[in-house]
């Protein structure tokens, strides 16, 4: 059994069925890629797994570390080690990145001293020293927001990280940093689900599996070569 097991998940949003029976398994310490055309349901899957209240699970089950978390609220899932890096990280005025992360880490039983050390080290790791005292994502550039998501993952050390397009809009140096952060997390045991449109980031990473989502179904599973097949031939060809 994988650290995250998704079984026959059917999800509706505003009464519309978006995910139509998704099953997948994520392994500890492995990086799994999730690709698929715009609107195929990738972010919907990430939100449903994280417990977003607008994304209703009509059928199916989610198991984290063998525990059924299908009905748990988002904070309980997070406390058990599930992390979501947003495609569009929200700006939260009045809340400092440091405070936000300190409280989140305390909820994950991270002692304060350890947090301080890891926070400063992680700011340096992602070249974000100047952003450390700023409000959460407020006025951050697109690339800075993506690095901020990765910084949160690095400090919280989740069991499972769902990363929704961490590479979108990121420059070449940023991409290397983000890939390094993902690789490190996996090396330390995190199971990663990396949602992306681009095989470019996959070149920097040891990918164990690629899933292709289309119209709410997983239509293909394969190795990293599948990402290149998509790049060359498009989704039409991959659908078969
Ligand atoms: N809150 C919502 N209200 C209404 N429709 C929604 C909502 N969230 C998602 N959808 C619809 O669900 C479908 C899947 O959207 P989703 O964001 O999951 O796609 P995606 O695969 O992440 O696409 P992209 O590659 O563009 O990020 C789309 O048709 C979208 O319009
Ligand atoms: Mg999306």
Q: What is the pLDDT of residues 40-77, one digit of tens each?
A: 999 999 999 999 999 999 999 999 999 999 999 999 99
Q: Is the pLDDT of residue 1 over 90?
A: no
Is the sign of the CA dihedral 95, 101, 106, 108 positive or negative? positive
For ligand 1, atom 19: residue with the closest CA: 39
Would you kindly state where each structural domain of the chain is located, as residue ranges?
4-91+145-239
What φ, ψ does residue 164 adopt, rounded to 5°? -90, 100
Q: Is 39 in the pocket of ligand 1 (CB under 6 A)?
A: yes
Q: Is 14 in the pocket of ligand 1 (CB under 6 A)?
A: yes
Beta bridge partners of 25: 5
For 111-137, how does the pLDDT look when each residue is reduced to its tens digit (9 = 90+)?
A: 778 899 999 999 999 999 999 999 999
Q: Which fold has domain 4-91+145-239?
A: Rossmann fold (3.40.50)
Q: To which residue do tokens 């400063």 refer?
A: 120
Q: Is 54 in the pocket of ligand 1 (CB under 6 A)?
A: yes
Structure token digits, residue 171:
């420059």
Among 110-114, 147-151, 183-187, 204-208, the minimum mean pLDDT is found in 110-114
pTM equals: 0.97
Q: Is the pLDDT of residue 98 over 90?
A: yes
> What is residue 108's predicted lDDT score, i.e. its pLDDT?
76
Cα 150 to Cα 152: distance, rounded to the nearest angstrom? 5
Q: Are 219 and 212 in contact (CB under 8 A)?
A: yes
Q: In angstroms, what is the span from residue 23 Cα to ligand 2's centroid? A: 18
Q: Of 110, 60, 52, nearest to 81 (Cα)? A: 110
User: What's the farthest any 2 CA atoms get from each other in the chain?
Assistant: 54
């Amino acid at each position: 059994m994988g650290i995250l097991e998704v079984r026959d998940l059917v999800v509706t949003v505003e009464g519309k069925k978006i995910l139509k029976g998704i099953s997948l398994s994520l392994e500890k310490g492995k990086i799994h890629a999730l690709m698929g055309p715009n609107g195929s349901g990738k972010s919907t899957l990430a939100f449903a797994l994280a417990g977003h209240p607008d994304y209703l699970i009509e059928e199916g089950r989610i198991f984290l570390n063998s525990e059924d978390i299908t009905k748990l609220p988002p904070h309980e899932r997070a406390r058990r080690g599930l992390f979501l890096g947003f495609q569009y990280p929200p700006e939260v005025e009045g809340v400092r990145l440091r405070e936000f992360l300190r409280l989140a880490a305390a909820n994950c039983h991270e002692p304060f001293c350890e947090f301080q050390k890891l926070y400063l080290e992680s700011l340096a790791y992602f070249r974000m020293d100047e952003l450390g005292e700023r409000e959460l994502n407020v006025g951050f550039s697109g690339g800075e927001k993506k690095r901020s998501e990765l910084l949160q993952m690095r400090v919280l050390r989740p069991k499972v990280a769902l990363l929704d397009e961490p590479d979108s809009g990121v420059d070449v140096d940023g991409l290397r940093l983000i890939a390094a952060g993902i690789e490190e997390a996996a090396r330390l045991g995190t199971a990663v689900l990396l949602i992306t449109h681009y095989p470019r980031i996959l070149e920097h990473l040891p990918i164990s599996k690629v899933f292709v989502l289309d119209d709410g179904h997983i239509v293909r599973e394969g190795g990293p070569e599948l990402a290149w097949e998509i790049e060359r031939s498009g989704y039409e060809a991959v659908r078969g």
